[in-house]
């Protein structure tokens, strides 16, 4: 009986995890083409924000221009020049916030918490 309850608890934990929610949309995410790309350069850790078709986006960081060390994909809703961000993992909201404003003339993006 303890084993069954442990397995049920483990399944519930996995179903609520951010990776499980992303895995449902992963094929559509990978098939979507990039429409806009923003980059922030730092000493060793560059940050990228990529907007894709089908209302997908991805925020990630690269260490030494080669190794992705954090990755936060999600979906967005676009109204005028404002994106409402819905991350699969709540840590993305803590880093960037849940809104972003795009300035197409300057090719910049501003994140709002």
pLDDT at 9 over 50: no
On whether the CB atoms of residues 60 and 71 are closer than 8 A, the answer is yes
Please tell me the distance from the alpha carbon of residue 27 to that of residue 14, in angstroms, as a whole number: 19
Q: Which region among 3-7, 8-12, 67-71 has the lowest average model confidence (pLDDT)?
A: 8-12
CA end-to-end span of the chain, whole Å?
46
Q: Could you tell me the pTM of the whole model?
A: 0.75
Please tell me the distance from the alpha carbon of residue 87 to that of residue 75, in angstroms, as a whole number: 6
């Amino acid at each position: 009986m303890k084993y069954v309850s442990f397995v049920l608890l483990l399944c519930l934990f996995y179903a609520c995890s951010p990776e499980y929610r992303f895995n449902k949309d992963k094929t559509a995410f990978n098939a979507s083409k990039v429409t806009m790309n923003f980059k922030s350069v730092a000493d060793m850790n560059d940050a990228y924000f990529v907007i894709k078709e089908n209302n997908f986006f991805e925020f990630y960081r690269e260490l030494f221009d080669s190794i992705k060390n954090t990755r936060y994909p999600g979906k967005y809703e676009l109204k005028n020049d404002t994106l409402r961000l819905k991350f699969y993992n709540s840590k993305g909201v803590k880093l960037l916030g849940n809104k972003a404003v795009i300035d197409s003339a300057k090719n910049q993006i501003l994140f709002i918490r």
